[in-house]
Amino acid sequence: MRLNLVMTYRASRIYSTEDARLIARRRLPKLIFDFVDGATGREIGAERNVSQFDRIMLQPRVMADVTQYSLKTELMGKSYKLPFGIAPMGMCNLVHPKADITLANAAKAMNFPVCLSSAASTSIEKMAQAAGSQAWFQLYFGASAESSLAMVERAQVAGFDTLILTVDVPQVSRRVRDLRNGFKVPFSITPRVFWDLATHPRWSLGTLLAGAPRPMNFTDSTGSNTFDRDASRSGADWSFMEVLRDKWQGNLVIKGLTSAEDARRVQSLGADAIYVSNHGARQLDSVPPAIRLLPLIRDAVGPDFPLLFDSGLRNGEDVIKALALGANFVMLGRPALFALGADGADGLHALLKCFETDITAVMAQLGVSSISQLGADAIFDDNAHKNKSGNKNKGSLTASQKNLK
C-alpha cells in the first residue's frame, strides 16, 4: 500500500514536461539522464528547437461553440484518437524496465501509434505482439543493405504496416555529455560509472532484475549482437530508398528531412509520408529549428501530402502550433522518456494526459472543435494588416508565418 501511495504521489506531481524532466534527473544515473537529455556540440540546436516554439504566438477567437470537440486525426488511412504518437527512440529500456512495452500499452489504451527503433532493447516480434496495429517500425541502415532488408522482412512478417526509414544519421555525431560520462553500449563499468550506478540503487536494482538493456534487433547468423552505435549509416541513400519502396508493401515514411528540395524528391520516389525532424539536434548543433523548416516543406510538397513532425515539442500548445504550421501529426520523444524515467507507466500516463488536456484547452481558445479546423490562421501574424488572405489551408502561410522571425 505504501509503495502505491508513493507512486501515485510522484505521478501526481507531473504537470508538465519540465516536471517529469526534473524528477527523472534525480532518479536516473547521470550517464542515463544525459544520454536522453543531451544533444550534439554545445547543445544550442536543442535549445533553439524548444525556444523557437516560444516565439510563435496563437490567435485566440471568441464566441465559437466548442462544447463538443474531437482530437480524432486521420493519417495514412487510419484514424487515431489523438494527434500525437511516440517517436522512435533507441534503448528506451535504459530509463525504465520494459519501457517499450509500457509505451505499447499506452498506445493501445489511448489509440496512437508507437514507433519501435531498430536500436531498441525490445525485439521486433515482441513489440508487434504488445502494440498490435499501433506499432510502427523504424529502420537504421545496418552493416549492409542485405542485413537491413532482412530486418525489414522481420518487421513485415511480424505484422508491422508502417516503416520509417531514418536518413539523417550518415555518421553518428559526437555527444559531449556521453563522452564525459563514459556512456557506451554495452556499458563499460569504469569506477566513475560504477559510482554513478551505485548512488542510484533503485534504478540499478530495477534494471538488474529486468536484465541489462541491449539492442535486440542487430544479430548475425550465429545470433551474436552486431550493433555498433558509432557505425556509419550512410547506406540509407536514394538508391536504397528505391529498393525499400519496391520491397515494402505498407506505408513508407522517410524521417529526418529538413530540406524542401529533399522533400520533393522523396515525394516523387513514392514515400507515403515525410517525417520533418532534425533528430532533436542530436546530429548537428547548427541545424535550424525544425519548426521553422516545417512550413517550407509543407509548401514544397503541397497541402495534401502527409507530414509528421518532431523536435522541440514540450506541451500541448506546441502540438497545436506544429499542426497549424503544416504538420498532420506530431511525435513525442524526450518528453515520453522523461515521464518514464520519472515514474514509469504512471508518469507516462500523467504527462500524456497533460498533453491531451492542453490541446483541448488551446483549441477552445482558438475557437475550433476539431483538429481538421486548425490552419495557418491560428498563428498570430504581426503583418496580418498587410496580408489579409485569411486562407486556412495548410501551406498557405504569409511571409511572416513562414519565417517566424
**pLDDT (tens digit per residue) in 272-312:** 999 999 999 999 999 999 999 999 999 999 999 999 999 99
Nearest Cα neighbor of 119 from 89, 95, 99, 164 is 89
* Exposure class string for 278-291: b at 16+ Cβ within 10 A, else e: bbbbbbbbebbbbb
Containing 275, the helix (H) or strand (E) segment is strand 273-276
Strands 251-257, 114-117: pairing kind: unpaired
Please write the tens of the pLDDT for every residue from 160-186. Answer: 999 999 999 999 899 999 999 999 877
How many percent of the chain have pLDDT more than 90?
80
Question: What pLDDT, on a 0 to 100 scale, did the predictor assign at position 9?
Answer: 45
Choice among 328-337, 361-370, 394-403 with the minimum mean pLDDT: 394-403
Question: What pLDDT, on a 0 to 100 scale, did the predictor assign at position 232?
Answer: 64
Query: pLDDT tier at 119 (50, 70, 90 boundaries)?
Result: very high
Tell me the catalytic residues.
Answer: 279
Q: Which residue ranges form the domains of the chain, and what is each CATH number?
A: 2-380 (3.20.20.70)
> Is pLDDT above 80 for 392?
no
Please write the tens of the pLDDT for every residue from 309-365. Answer: 999 999 999 999 999 999 999 999 999 999 999 999 999 999 999 999 999 999 999
Query: Please, are residues 24 and 35 in contact by the beta-carbon 8 Å criterion?
Result: no
Question: What residues contact 126, with CB distance under 8 A and at least 6 apart?
Answer: 101
Please write the tens of the pLDDT for every residue from 132-165. Answer: 999 999 999 988 899 999 999 999 999 999 999 9
Arithmetic mean of pLDDT, 198-206:
93
Residue 209 CB burial class (10 angstroms; 0-12, 13-18, ≥19): exposed
pTM for this predicted structure: 0.90
Query: pLDDT tier at 398 (50, 70, 90 boundaries)?
Result: low
What average pLDDT is seen over the chain? 91
* Exposure class string for 160-187: b at 16+ Cβ within 10 A, else e: bbbbbbbbbbeeeeebebbeebebebeb
Q: What are the beta bridge partners of residue 78?
A: 75
Arithmetic mean of pLDDT, 2-31:
78
Q: What is the DSSP string of 141-204?
A: --SSHHHHHHHHHHHHHHT--EEEEE-S-SSPPP-HHHHHHT--SS----HHHHHHHHT-HHHH
Query: Please, are residues 88 and 117 in contact by the beta-carbon 8 Å criterion?
Result: yes
Question: What pLDDT, on a 0 to 100 scale, did the predictor assign at position 8?
Answer: 47
Query: Please, are residues 186 and 249 in contact by the beta-carbon 8 Å criterion?
Result: no
- Cα separation, 310 vs 336, in Å, equals 12
Arithmetic mean of pLDDT, 17-41:
97
Considering only residues 231 and 36, tell me which one the structure prediction assigns the higher pLDDT. Answer: 36
Query: pLDDT tier at 60 (50, 70, 90 boundaries)?
Result: very high
Choice among 189-193, 249-253, 285-289 with the minimum mean pLDDT: 189-193
Question: What residues contact 59, with CB distance under 8 A and at least 6 apart?
Answer: 366, 377, 378, 379, 380, 381
User: What angle do the packed helices 238-247 and 145-158 form, to 10 degrees?
Assistant: 30
- Residue appearing with cell numbers 471568441: 62
- Cα separation, 82 vs 331, in Å, equals 11
- Cα separation, 137 vs 141, in Å, equals 13
Cα 130–132–138 angle (5° rounding)? 90
- For 11-155, strand residue ranges (E) read 73-75, 78-80, 84-86, 114-117, 135-139
Question: What pLDDT, on a 0 to 100 scale, did the predictor assign at position 222?
Answer: 60
- Residue appearing with cell numbers 522533400: 263
Choice among 4-18, 209-223, 294-308 with the minimum mean pLDDT: 4-18
Question: What residues contact 358, with CB distance under 8 A and at least 6 apart?
Answer: 315, 316, 317, 319
Arithmetic mean of pLDDT, 115-126:
96
Query: pLDDT tier at 188 (50, 70, 90 boundaries)?
Result: confident
Query: pLDDT tier at 4 (50, 70, 90 boundaries)?
Result: very low
225 φ, ψ to 5°? -75, 130
Question: What pLDDT, on a 0 to 100 scale, did the predictor assign at position 221?
Answer: 59
Question: What residues contact 198, with CB distance under 8 A and at least 6 apart?
Answer: 204
Can you say whether residue 344 is alpha, beta or left, with left for phi > 0 and alpha for psi between -120 and 50 degrees? left
